[in-house]
């Protein structure tokens, strides 16, 4: 095999603005896609392909099928919607059956150029509405003699790229072509030769060219498998180095289980720990009492008791003479933790401090108490990692809803003292397959049991056409002095999508439906202080009904809230629906979650709603969510300092993941410093493109 060069040459690292057809303005557009260098453009791989020749037999098409094909328009119908806007329907006919393409919002040029007889390329997912095959908002391109360069004109298979505003598929194709025309000879390898030979991969230049310009689907799929392997391999390489770093460079704190404060807390609890809580506490204590630094993730549904488990770990640190910190994503959650913990510790001589951002009376004293060690438990937001916060002896750190923090924030807290034990908390169950990739060798504990006093939330799917019946059920709960949430996907009316928004719904409910009750609106564009004040009033019972966006997905504990109404539930992912449902059912009364569907909905959306009705198990729901939507929708990838998967599929590519993990850990086991000549390509990548990610993964 020809010796493979290492690293990227200066040619492919050329700023993309110097490429033919780019310039300053277009370079700024490309930067939004993460494309800054010529090599970035070459690695901006197609997300799909479209055919100029294959016309499907529509009688064989099923709802849920993904189609990419060319066709002639048979008819066009434009009409106003109920909201006074326009919708356009276009009929595509194969001589026997018709497929209707529908847009509720579209560029003005659609009405000018979409005419009977016009040839177009269509790409989208088929659904069914009133027994008619339909595509909602499919991607289209006109077929004309002026299409693309001479190269693209001659091809019957075209790539479809991820785009940003003001960039078209035609423009992106031509830019990619220009990049390869001028720089293809400079593309260099990023995998060791032995791995390429072992797995039968094509060289990187050929694989990239196949992805962009290939015509044979089998060859394109082979190239795609190489890039899926790359994604998995480099992530696992970083985790392998992380494991080596912690094994050889990090000296953890070895705590002793003195059973002083922890036993006192156990006797004070007004409830009995569940078996799952007891098991997880044992796992955490085993880590903390070992010589290694603990880095453990605790997963558990909302209400499973993660805070109490965390408090036991914090007290183990305190009875060994160390301080313990708990970082929450918002002030109101930090205050909730503070209230819960101080109540549980009432009567015990342990100083608990609540540290918030900004200026407030008593903050200087709080900082002094933390620095002196007088404050033993410190609870707060990102204020805990500010430079002016000095700890006396920080031995334990818990990060609640850890995905809400950037990786740099988490790393800064971990570096505040001499490698404290770290416990990450998550109320969003993560499928094991995703966890292995996102968190590498991180130990995972699962609280898979709810307290016996918790009643399952009754989940019901209702059509928006029968929403009045839902409002009657809500009214019944409000009349019993209960409280309710109503969630919308948008803050305000949008020209891009035809969805109900929170502002219009709040006005309708507060002035028409529930005039006798106190209704408030909350959304993510409000200042944090205003949002916190509204949530406090809701918690105190001053607000009966809260109309919201998903800003309340992770919010305060309101035991009196018994109803969750989710508008356009078909537009939410399963994990998000499950989190929203978890906002209710936290008290002694039966709670209800109404999933309001707006037809037409896709086959996948219908499966999501069915899953919500049939299961309350967060892990079952998480696995189904991963199966239906893929890993790109899960929260953890970017926040873990790792790239979202563009090519790898965690469901179908498990064999590739296992190979990549085995290869990566084997290389670090035999050559941890990557000194061997064959590993120089990896060493250069870690010094370059992967350097920042590795620094974040190390903590």
**Which residue from 72, 262, 227 is spatially nearest to 643, judged by alpha carbons?**
227
CA distance 500 to 217: 41
Do 482 and 417 belong to one domain? no
- Final residue in a domain of this structure, among 159, 184, 211: 159
Residue 667 lies in a domain: no
Q: Tell me if 278 sits within 8 A of 309, measured CB to CB.
A: no
Q: What pLDDT score does 696 carry?
A: 53
CA distance 175 to 159: 13
- pLDDT digit string, tens, across residues 465-481: 899 999 999 999 999 99
Q: What is the mean pLDDT of residues 35-51?
A: 88
Q: What is the mean pLDDT of residues 177-182?
A: 92
In order of 57, 74, 92, the CA distances from 95 in angstroms are 9, 10, 9
Q: What pLDDT score does 494 carry?
A: 44
Q: Can you read off the two tokens belonging to residue 80?
A: 């106003």
What is the domain-level CATH number for residue 609? 3.40.50.300
CA distance 322 to 393: 5
Do 297 and 317 belong to one domain? yes
CA distance 380 to 384: 6
- pLDDT digit string, tens, across residues 490-537: 754 443 444 567 888 899 999 999 999 999 998 877 887 888 888 889
Q: What pLDDT score does 434 carry?
A: 64
Q: What pLDDT score does 313 carry?
A: 96
Do 440 and 477 belong to one domain? no
What is the domain-level CATH number for residue 91? 2.40.50.140
Residue 462 lies in a domain: yes
Do 374 and 417 belong to one domain? yes
CA distance 672 to 244: 7
Do 428 and 477 belong to one domain? no
The chain-wide mean pLDDT, for the chain, equals: 83
- pLDDT digit string, tens, across residues 126-150: 888 777 889 888 888 777 655 456 6
Quick check: helix, strand or coil at residue 214? Answer: coil
Q: What pLDDT score does 610 carry?
A: 92
Residue 311 lies in a domain: yes
Instruction: Say what percent of the chain tops pLDDT 90.
Output: 38
Do 417 and 474 belong to one domain? no
Residue 71 has pLDDT above 70, yes or no: yes
Q: What pLDDT score does 252 carry?
A: 82
Residue 632 has pLDDT above 60, yes or no: no
Paired with 296 in beta bridges are 423, 443
Do 466 and 589 belong to one domain? yes
Count the neighbouring beta carbons within 10 Å of the beta carbon of residue 159: 21
Residue 333 lies in a domain: yes
- Final residue in a domain of this structure, among 582, 615, 648: 615
Do 443 and 472 belong to one domain? no
Residue 600 lies in a domain: yes
Residue 181 lies in a domain: no
Our count of domains for the chain comes to 3
Q: What pLDDT score does 636 carry?
A: 36
**Which residue from 190, 226, 223 is spatially nearest to 209, judged by alpha carbons?**
223
Residue, of 444 and 284, whose pLDDT is higher: 284
Residue 388 has pLDDT above 80, yes or no: yes
Do 353 and 483 belong to one domain? no
- pLDDT digit string, tens, across residues 603-630: 788 888 999 999 887 778 877 777 776 5
CA distance 551 to 567: 14
Do 463 and 443 belong to one domain? no
Q: Tell me if 136 sits within 8 A of 102, measured CB to CB.
A: yes
Surface-to-core class of residue 346, CB atoms within 10 Å of its CB (0-12 exposed, 13-18 middle, 19+ buried): exposed
Q: What pLDDT score does 633 carry?
A: 40
- Final residue in a domain of this structure, among 562, 584, 615: 615
pLDDT tier for residue 643 given thresholds of 50, 70 and 90: very low
CA distance 372 to 386: 17
Residue 37 lies in a domain: no
Q: What is the mean pLDDT of residues 368-391?
A: 90
Domain encompassing residue 310? 270-447
Residue 213 lies in a domain: no
Do 398 and 463 belong to one domain? no
Q: What pLDDT score does 692 carry?
A: 64
- pLDDT digit string, tens, across residues 321-344: 999 999 988 887 888 899 889 999
Q: CA neighbours within 13 Å on the CB side: how many for 439?
A: 24
Among 3-17, 261-275, 334-348, 664-678, the range scoring the smallest mean pLDDT is: 3-17
List the helix and strand counts (H, then E) for the chain. 25, 21
Q: Starting at the edge strand that comes first in sequence, how are the strands of the sheet with 483-487 ordered?
A: 458-463, 592-597, 561-566, 483-487, 545-548, 519-522
Residue 441 has pLDDT above 70, yes or no: no
Do 443 and 500 belong to one domain? no
């Amino acid at each position: 095999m020809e010796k493979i060069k290492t690293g990227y040459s200066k040619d492919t690292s050329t700023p993309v603005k110097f490429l033919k057809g780019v310039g300053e303005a277009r370079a700024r557009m490309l930067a939004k896609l993460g494309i800054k260098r010529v090599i970035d453009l070459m690695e901006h791989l197609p997300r799909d392909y479209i055919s100029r020749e294959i016309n499907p037999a529509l009688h064989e098409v099923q709802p849920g099928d993904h189609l990419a094909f060319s066709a002639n328009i048979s008819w066009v119908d434009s009409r106003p919607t109920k909201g006074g806007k326009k919708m356009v329907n276009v009929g595509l006919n194969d001589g026997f059956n018709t497929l209707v393409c529908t847009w509720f919002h579209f560029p003005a040029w659609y009405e000018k150029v979409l005419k009977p007889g016009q040839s177009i390329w269509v790409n989208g997912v088929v659904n069914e509405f009133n027994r008619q095959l339909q595509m909602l908002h499919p991607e289209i391109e006109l077929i004309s003699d002026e299409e693309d360069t001479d190269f693209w004109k001659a091809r019957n298979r075209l790539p479809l790229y991820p785009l940003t505003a003001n960039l078209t598929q035609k423009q992106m194709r031509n830019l990619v072509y220009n990049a390869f025309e001028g720089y293809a000879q400079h593309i260099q390898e990023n995998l060791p030769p032995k791995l390429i030979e072992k797995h039968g991969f094509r060289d990187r230049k050929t694989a990239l060219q196949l992805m962009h310009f290939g015509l044979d689907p089998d060859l394109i799929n082979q190239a795609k498998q190489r890039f899926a392997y790359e994604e998995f391999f480099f992530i696992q390489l970083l985790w392998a180095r992380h494991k080596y770093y912690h094994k050889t460079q990090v000296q953890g704190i070895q705590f002793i289980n003195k059973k002083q404060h922890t036993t006192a807390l156990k006797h004070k609890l007004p409830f009995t720990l569940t078996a799952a809580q007891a098991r997880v506490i044992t796992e955490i204590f085993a880590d903390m009492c070992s010589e290694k630094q603990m880095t453990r993730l605790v997963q558990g549904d909302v209400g499973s008791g993660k805070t109490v488990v965390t408090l036991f770990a914090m007290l183990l640190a305190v009875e060994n003479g160390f301080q313990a910190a708990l970082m929450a994503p918002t002030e109101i959650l930090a205050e909730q933790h503070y209230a819960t913990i101080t109540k549980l510790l009432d009567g015990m001589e342990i100083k608990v401090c609540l540290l918030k951002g900004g200026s407030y009376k008593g903050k200087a004293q709080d900082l002094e108490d933390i620095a002196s060690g007088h404050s033993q438990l410190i609870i707060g937001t990102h204020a805990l990692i500010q430079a002016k916060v000095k700890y006396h002896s920080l031995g334990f750190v818990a990060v609640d809803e850890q995905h809400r923090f950037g990786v740099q924030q988490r790393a800064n807290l971990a570096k505040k003292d001499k490698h404290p034990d770290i416990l990450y908390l998550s109320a969003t169950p993560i499928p094991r397959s995703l966890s292995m990739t996102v968190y590498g060798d991180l130990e995972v504990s699962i609280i898979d049991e709810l307290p016996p006093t918790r009643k399952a939330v009754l989940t019901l799917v209702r059509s928006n056409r029968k929403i009045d019946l839902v409002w009657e059920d809500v009214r019944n709960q409000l009349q019993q002095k209960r409280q309710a949430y109503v969630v919308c996907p948008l803050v305000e009316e949008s020209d891009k999508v035809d969805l109900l928004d929170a502002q219009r719904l709040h006005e309708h409910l507060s002035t028409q439906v529930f005039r006798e009750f106190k209704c408030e609106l909350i959304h993510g564009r409000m200042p944090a202080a205003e949002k916190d004040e509204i949530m406090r009033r809701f918690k105190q019972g001053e607000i009966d009904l809260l109309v919201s966006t998903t800003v309340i997905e992770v919010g305060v504990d309101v035991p009196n809230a018994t109803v969750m109404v989710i508008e356009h539930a078909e537009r939410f992912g399963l994990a998000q629906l499950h989190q929203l449902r978890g906002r209710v059912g936290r008290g002694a009364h039966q709670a209800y979650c109404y999933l309001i569907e707006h037809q037409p909905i896709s086959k996948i959306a219908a499966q999501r709603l069915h899953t919500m009705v049939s299961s309350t198990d967060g892990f079952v729901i998480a696995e189904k969510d991963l199966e239906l939507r893929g890993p790109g929708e899960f929260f953890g990838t970017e926040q873990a300092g790792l790239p979202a998967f563009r090519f790898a599929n965690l469901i179908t590519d498990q064999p590739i993941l296992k190979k990549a993990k085995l290869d990566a850990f084997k290389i670090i086991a035999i050559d941890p410093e990557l000194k061997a000549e064959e590993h120089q390509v990896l060493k250069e990548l870690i010094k370059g493109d992967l350097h920042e990610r590795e620094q974040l993964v190390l903590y």
